[in-house]
Structure 1
């Protein structure tokens, strides 16, 4: 009932919906002197109120206590010391924080459950079924790069999770990559997955790394969306010709030294596809991580917490309404405004 009343309030009045935020913590990022490594629901809501954001899709950070990350190795191992399957502890904690610790803020938060498409997927699906009967759940999300799990596993090992999302009519957000040393989260694999599953709404995060063939294909699929999460630091990567962004020959044509102009052009080119999301608190990305060939990489990308929303609020009103409200509702619920 509460989920339906919150859904109704979303349709009652035009709002700004951030489709990509994190709460919780990452012990791994903390141990590696990375940033960010934590954000509470209360802190998220304070940011939202300061920045003119009405609702936020929220999920845990990108790793789980289920994984053991040896800082001297690229290999991820698993343990049941803290949880019995991936993201059990993190998802429970997020839903408890939203609904039991800060119920006065729950009307602003649209929780997504984080998942691993490759490990203990039946246990994850059973948990999702159980917890979604107790608390409102609005979708699911995976960041498969950081847990070394393949996007396409969602149709194999991860099918119980896919079928849960299909049965509950829940959308799925996929972290995306084009990095040649990241075999796990290919933006091309994600859009192909959406094409094969037209009844499941899928979002490709991080502007599909500006990979134009993927943007074009997503735009031709009614069930596929692309979010702007961590937009400014990805524009900075494009200026640097980083391997984390589509190579120039296949990159969406724009002036990446001017992120506002890029967002306008993307929203105008793909008006029914783009969704606004901040990736709070990952407007910063100061981290060490392993690539697919076992190489330790260190990145330092910075964007002040106000900058993402300043660009959103600078959009022409009609475009802003599209990418921060109308498209977002269609992604969340499959219904037009």
Structure 2
């Protein structure tokens, strides 16, 4: 069955349109993409230049607060951009960084974020090769916004797409989910909650490189589940592949602090943003090797096989509970979380 075209009929742009859920999908697929000629909606566009295959991506970061446990907007901008390249099967090579600075922003705070950008890029072995700077009126930019572009070299051993996914393929998750989104929520100080938690922001290329080395022939698709979390990423895959995805809730790694905060706030950990994890779809005969490879990478010891691809119901993600019952896992609806990236 051909899915009907999404139409954008909302009279105004609201915060929910940036949450990564259903409203974001309406905005992007119903308005932006058709007018711009339906560009790639993947994490990165793939470009063929002779024998070289490049991945090209762009991102913007408007997180509040600018600094939070485990990271800051500068580090997040680097990791978020290179991770979009990594899950496209590309080794990140270079970044452009553009700054939108609010008049009155402290010089020392700007220096700290520039150093965070430089250090994060250095850790990821990626060069910052250019960019742009603009200053806007006081009160117009929450201090600092960062916009980035990144380019990477695609590993020829992989060709990743939703169309390559098959029933029986396994769903792998690289580690605990929800750390970043809940950390940002608590860092804003608007809730009377405390937790020993920090953002998971980090480059995922070491995890991707290990996956490619161990299971390249069986590696079908990857995504870093940022805005909208694991639920949105898997729903996008199910819709594009027109297959069902079955996950097991008791296999999904979630820290007690994240689970507790979600229970208090009425949130689903599957909808919470991550900035240092990835989802991989792997052919069944390569799943064990892929999982072993992830767990051998520093920071990947909690990687888990959390589900499988099924024939039907097509286009649906559902979770099996520890009691054997099941529930449909939909995309994020509304805007229950603050700006997290």
TM-score using structure 2 length: 0.30
Higher relative contact order (CA 8 A, sep 6+): 2
TM score, norm. by length of structure 1: 0.30
Q: Whose strand fraction is larger, Structure 1's or Structure 2's?
A: 2
**Greater share of helix residues, 1 or 2?**
1
